[in-house]
């Protein structure tokens, strides 16, 4: 999250949209195989072009064709370079995603200790998993919230057992162990 410059929750939200790194690696390998096949085909075409040029050097249309094939070879070479760069970037991104996933795993373990383990459970967590330390004036669409009256007005409590990552940066966390 620090490398991305965003919150842990946002990093998790961004990463969850993408496939596993192993799937990306498989795609990169398939891409490399295709590039290798294209390179082989380019080499074969280049050899054939040279033979054809020697046999038909006096025929102008074939010379034009030769120029076009040379341009195609150059285009394929450029494509090969571009695909190599893409493959390197994918590999770099896979490494970053793996680091982020590892960090998220540690964060989840920390959150589990704050919510699930009895000896470190937060004092603000009620028996139904709702946080009593923080409340919201409006219901947030898509989140499990419970209305409650506090100080003569209706506020909404968030069920943090359903969204435990919210607890990672909570300034109100206090272990039952310390009370």
Domain locations along the chain: 8-115, 123-178
pLDDT tens digits along 27-68: 778 888 898 998 999 999 999 988 877 776 666 666 677 788
Instruction: Report the DSSP pairing between strands 130-136 and 153-159.
Output: antiparallel
Residue-level pLDDT at 58: 64
Nearest 5°: the CA angle 149, 153, 156 is 55
Separation between Cα atoms, residue 85 and residue 144, nearest integer Å: 44
125 DSSP 8-state letter: B
Tokens linked to 131 = 């946080």
Tell me, rounded to whole angstroms, the distance of Cα 165 from its chain centroid: 18
1 three-class SS: coil
Percent of residues, the chain, with pLDDT higher than 90: 37
Of the candidates 66, 83, 65, 104, the residue with the CA atom closest to the CA atom of residue 28: 83
Order of strands, edge to edge, in the sheet holding 153-159? 130-136, 153-159, 145-150
Tokens 């003569």 locate to 152
Distance, CA of 96 to CA of 99 (rounded, Å): 5
- Residue 88 token pair: 């390197």
pLDDT in tens, 69-121: 888 888 999 999 999 999 999 999 999 999 999 988 888 787 777 666 655 77
pLDDT at residue 116, as a whole number: 64
């Amino acid at each position: 999250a620090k490398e991305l410059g965003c919150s842990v929750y946002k990093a998790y939200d961004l990463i969850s949209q993408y496939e596993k790194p192993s799937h990306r690696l498989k795609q990169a390998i398939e891409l490399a195989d295709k590039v290798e096949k294209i390179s082989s085909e380019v080499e074969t075409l280049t050899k054939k072009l040279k033979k054809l040029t020697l046999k038909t050097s006096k025929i102008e249309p074939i010379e034009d064709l030769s120029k076009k094939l040379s341009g195609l070879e150059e285009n394929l070479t450029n494509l090969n370079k571009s695909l190599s760069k893409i493959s390197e970037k994918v590999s770099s991104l896979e490494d970053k995603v793996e680091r982020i996933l590892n960090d998220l795993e540690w964060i989840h373990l920390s959150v589990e200790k704050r919510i699930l383990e009895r000896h470190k459970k937060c004092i603000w967590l009620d028996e139904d998993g709702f946080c009593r330390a923080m409340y919201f004036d409006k219901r947030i669409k898509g989140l499990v919230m419970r209305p409650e009256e506090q100080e003569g007005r209706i506020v909404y409590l968030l069920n943090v057992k359903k969204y435990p990552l919210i607890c990672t940066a909570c300034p109100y966390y206090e272990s039952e162990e310390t009370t």
